[in-house]
Copies of this chain bind each other. A is one copy, B any other.
Amino acid sequence: MNSPLLHELCEPFLGLLGTWKGTGEGHYPSIKSFEYLEEATFAHVGKPFISYGQKTRDLVTNVPLHSESGYIRPQGEYLAELVLAQPSGIIEIHTGSIEFTENACVIYFESIDVRLTPSAKEVTQVSRLIKIEGDTLSYDVSMAAVGEPFQHHLKAVLKRQT
């Protein structure tokens, strides 16, 4: 089947589409710092949303660590919504925006709702900053969790896979 035409609402997010691989590092007061391998995919089916999924593995042992999946919902006027589910029992709802500079595209999401299953660890606030420069995607995730104040948690640099 031919690839569907990108929905016009998704056009500002064209640079996200594809599969990305690279490495990242995480830190938080409640845990030991760690480094990871990541593969992330952003895809579309011609409808006004972009599906997102990622998986990480321990950089040293290759053991699976985190994964998450969800959808970006462009709203026009360079605005968007994001819904995200995590196997840790956390779901996030964000609103955000996309900006373009001469060489980069920056997408910034801030959570408007973070919800938990009964057995999940407490997370109350999350922000996600994604920057795309050519074939490099870098991101930062900050969060308030387990009673700690809002702070930086994850940073990664991924390369577009051809």
Instruction: Give A contacts to B, CB under 8 Å.
Output: 1, 4, 45-47, 49, 51, 53, 55, 62, 64, 67, 69-71, 73, 75, 81, 83-87, 89-91, 93, 95, 112-113, 115-120
**Across the interface, do A87 and B71 meet the contact criterion of CB distance under 8 Å?**
yes
Question: Residue A117 contacts which of B4, B51, B69, B93 (CB distance < 8 angstroms)?
Answer: B93
Residue of B nearest to A47 (CB): B64
Q: Which residues of B contact A46 (CB under 8 A)?
A: 64
Q: Which residues of B contact A47 (CB under 8 A)?
A: 64, 87
Looking at chain A's contact residues, is the secondary structure mostly helix, strand, loop, or mixed?
strand
* Interface-centre pick from A4, A91, A95 (highest chain B CB count, 10 A): A91
A87-B71, A87-B73, A91-B93 known; A81 vs B51 contact (CB < 8 Å): no
CB distance from A41 to the nearest CB of B (A): 12
**Across the interface, do A51 and B70 meet the contact criterion of CB distance under 8 Å?**
no
How far is B91's CA from A139's CA once the two chains are assembled, in angstroms?
23
A113-B115, A117-B93, A118-B95 known; A86 vs B64 contact (CB < 8 Å): no
**Across the interface, do A71 and B93 meet the contact criterion of CB distance under 8 Å?**
no
Residue of B nearest to A113 (CB): B115
How far is B118's CA from A4's CA once the two chains are assembled, in angstroms?
27
Q: Which residues of B contact A87 (CB under 8 A)?
A: 47, 49, 51, 71, 73, 83
Closest 4 CB pairs of A and B: A49-B87, A81-B117, A71-B87, A69-B69
